[in-house]
Chains A and B, each alone.
Chain A
């Protein structure tokens, strides 16, 4: 079930558009904002709420890289693996993170603290290599910096 709060927020978006379906992507973002990811149940609920088939909602949800259809850890580390960061050495950064956390891209630590994901270019190429932890951007990364950075997130 969508919560009252979620419904209200979705209705605010629906008001802006000529027909309710347009708010589908907004609705997915709203649910994710409250729950951290978008479970199957919410896909069905959004479909019912906006008057569209659940499969269509899922088609939209799975299209976008930043809509998560799996639960994540408390913090998400997004390592840029695009070309400028490759030239400037994202691979050793990834290797270090992967080794230290004991997970690979797409996995979550057993204490649920971190999920490690790749991301396409973060638009910080002149300060490469770059990564984000949650909404925070970090650049000119060195292996030495990583341990201290991770300590900020519990």
Chain B
């Protein structure tokens, strides 16, 4: 089994320096991309690989790049932004890639920036990742020293600067247009689309925002080709994926596996199965803003289209397990409290709706709920759904709620009928 992203990552060891990464053949892809390929060749290659954005939405990366205007009339200044804001509860994959092999990310950024002809790139790093910040600052300095960044990279005349921006902390910064506002020093509220960032992004210039994991695949695709990348997955979507598991399993963690590996294999084989005395009740497959999958979905292939067919989303691919010793109402209440707190307040349904949902869930959890509360929760899942809010924040928040109301209806009713939480004595 090939694991291109993580093969040079050793737990507990220092990441490779620029020179060590070179010795593994690491920066070879840059030579090839900058010297032998045109930006258009690269976009064609990444499109052919079918690399789907690993930040959660699964949008084809090559298509995203191709939306940047080219030609004589196109704006000269363009930007690449690496989204390393990873704030989705339950998600810890990008940190692993940054801290494990920062030069792989830098190499991916150089190639991506070249493909869209950007000469400035930003890494938008989440506040809490203090170790990542130290590692990235060192790695960026090494890359400059080795001639992979700065003016006239490898004698090709191509120029690129990478800046590291550390966030001041807010979940909304992960939304790409809010991230751009934050980089501009503003409140991180989302922007109206269109125009999309590809035509009008940072400072009004064409901008591509890619996730860390997405960018890390780029050097490998350049080196080994689109057909190789596609052959890595179980299903046709292409590539490997970092899958993570947290919750009451024996061996929580993160593994690079073929995209489309099934949920049972990940939970039972890699995460070691449930802790003794705990039973599986459900899982959010890709972070807090995805619908529950339950026992009947155990054999589901976890790729973008298969999980979507089950009414959920692959999201970030890092699942959170709900076990039988944890109250599902408290679990969902915790999620909705997070979403209510992190709403940026820009649009009314999200700003007013999420706190209402949160308060209702709290009252049910505390034994003060009424049967009609469930109907109010249910109508929120459609009123705060896609198309009714300014961005994807509230619709994402409704995903675990709508599936939770469906799969754990009896648990909600027990709280209401027994007038207390059966999990709390």
Q: Do A and B bind each other?
A: yes
Determine if A87 and B87 form an interchain contact, defined as CB atoms under 8 angstroms apart. Answer: no
Pair A120/B341 contact, Cβ less than 8 Å: yes
Per-position binary interface string of chain A over residues 38-79, scored 1 when its CB falls under 8 Å from any chain B CB and 0 otherwise? 000000000000000000000110011111000000000000
B318 at interface (Cβ–Cβ under 8 A)?
yes
Q: In the complex, which residues 148-200 of chain B have their Cβ closer than 8 Å to any Cβ of chain A? A: 163, 167-171, 182, 184-188
Within 8 A of A (CB), among B89-118: 89-92, 95
Q: Quick check: A123 and B170 within 8 Å, CB to CB? A: no
A83–B168 CA distance with the chains assembled, in angstroms: 22
A109 within 8 A of B: no
Q: Enumerate chain A residues within 8 angstroms of B188, measured Cβ to Cβ.
A: 63-64
* Interface 9-residue window, one of A23-31, A96-104, A142-150: A23-31
Bound-state CA distance A23–B90 (Å) is 32
Whether A60 touches B90, Cβ cut-off 8 Å, given contacts A83-B334, A123-B128, A135-B130, is: no
| B163 partner, pick from A16, A24, A63, A119, beta carbons under 8 A | A16
Roughly how many angstroms separate A17 CA and B163 CA in the complex, as a whole number? 12
Give me 16 A-to-B residue pairs in the complex whose CB atoms sit less than 8 angstroms apart, sorted by A's number. A18-B203, A26-B185, A63-B170, A64-B167, A66-B169, A67-B168, A82-B89, A83-B89, A87-B323, A87-B326, A121-B87, A121-B90, A123-B91, A123-B126, A123-B128, A128-B246
CB-CB contacts of B275-289 with A at 8 A, as 1s and 0s?
A: 000000000100010
A83: chain B residues within 8 A (beta carbon): 89-90, 284, 288, 320, 331, 334-335, 338
Q: Which residues of A contact B408 (CB under 8 A)?
A: none
- Rounded to whole Å, the gap between the CB of A136 and the closest CB of chain B is 8
Give the Cβ gap from B70 to chain A, nearest Cβ, in Å. Answer: 23
Minimum CB distance partner of A81 in chain B: B334
Contact among A28, A126, A132, A136 with B246 in the assembled complex (CB-CB below 8 Å): A126
Contact B168 A64 (CB under 8 A): yes
Which residues of the other chain, B, contact A135 by a CB distance below 8 angstroms?
Answer: 130
B: contact size bracket:
35 or more
Which residues of B pack against A, CB within 8 Å?
86-92, 95, 126-131, 163, 167-171, 182, 184-188, 203, 244-248, 252-254, 284, 288, 318, 320-323, 326, 330-331, 334-335, 338, 341-342, 344
Q: B318 touching A60 by the CB < 8 A rule?
A: no
Contact at A125–B91, with CB atoms within 8 Å?
yes
Q: Given A25-B182, A64-B167, A125-B244, 18 other A-B contacts at CB below 8 A?
A: A24-B185, A28-B168, A59-B187, A63-B170, A64-B170, A83-B284, A84-B320, A86-B331, A87-B246, A87-B248, A88-B246, A120-B87, A120-B338, A120-B342, A121-B87, A123-B128, A125-B89, A132-B128
Pairwise interchain contact B128-A84, C-beta atoms closer than 8 A? no
* In the complex, chain B residues whose CB is within 8 Å of the CB of A16: 163
A124 interface residue per 8 A CB criterion: yes
Measured CB to CB, the nearest residue on chain B to A23 is B185
The verdict on A122 contacting chain B, using a C-beta distance below 8 Å, is: yes
Q: Which residues of A contact B245 (CB under 8 A)?
A: 126
Q: How far is the CA of A150 from the CA of B320 in the complex (A)?
A: 29
A126 engages B171 (CB within 8 Å): no
Bound form: Cα–Cα A63–B169 in Å: 9
Using Cβ atoms and an 8 Å threshold, which residues of chain B touch A65?
A: 127, 168-170
B330 touches A86 (CB 8 A): yes
Expressed in whole angstroms, the Cα–Cα distance for A86 and B336 within the complex equals 13
Q: Which residues of the partner chain A approach B91 to less than 8 Å between Cβ atoms?
A: 121, 123, 125
Bound: A59/B185 CA distance, A = 11
Give the residues in chain A near B331, CB-CB below 8 Å. 83, 86-87
Query: In the complex, which residue of chain A has the Cβ closest to the Cβ of B120?
Result: A16
Quote the shortest CB–CB distance from B115 to chain A (angstroms).
24
Q: Report the minimal beta-carbon distance from B10 to chain A, rounded to whole angstroms.
A: 17
Q: Does A7 contact B (CB under 8 A)?
A: no
Complex formed: what's the CA distance from A25 to B254 in Å? 34
Which residues of chain B are within 8 angstroms of A121 by Cβ–Cβ distance? 87-91, 288, 338
A137 to B131, CA, bound (A): 9
Knowing A29-B168, A83-B320, say if A66 contacts B338 (CB, 8 Å): no
Give complex CA distance A126, B255 in Å: 12
The chain A residue sitting closest to B77, CB to CB, is A18
Q: Which of A23, A87, A132 contacts B322 (CB 8 A)?
A: A87
Least CB distance from B257 to A in Å reads 15
- Residue pair B184, A22 in contact (C-beta under 8 Å): yes
Do residues B87 and A88 form an inter-chain contact, with CB atoms below 8 A?
no
Cβ of A26 to closest chain B Cβ, rounded Å = 7
Q: In whole Å, how far is A148's beta carbon from the nearest beta carbon of chain B?
A: 21
Cβ contacts under 8 Å, A84 to chain B: 89-90, 246-247, 320
| Chain A residues, Cβ within 8 Å of B130 | 135-137
Tell me the smallest distance from the CB of B307 to a CB of chain A, in Å.
19
Chain B residues with CB under 8 A of A25: 168, 182, 185-186
- Could you say which residues of chain B place their CB within 8 Å of the CB of A81? 334
Are B288 and A122 touching (Cβ within 8 A)? no
Which residues does chain A contribute within 8 Å of B86, judged by CB atoms? 123
Task: Give a binary string over A108-145; 1 marks a CB under 8 Å from any B CB, 0 the rest.
Answer: 00000000000111111111100010011100000000
Q: Which residues of B are found within 8 Å of A136, using beta-carbon distances?
A: 130
Docked complex Cα distance between A153 and B167 (Å)? 25
- Taking a contact as CB atoms under 8 Å apart, the answer to whether B187 and A123 are in contact is no
Q: Chain A residues near B321 (CB, 8 Å)?
A: 87
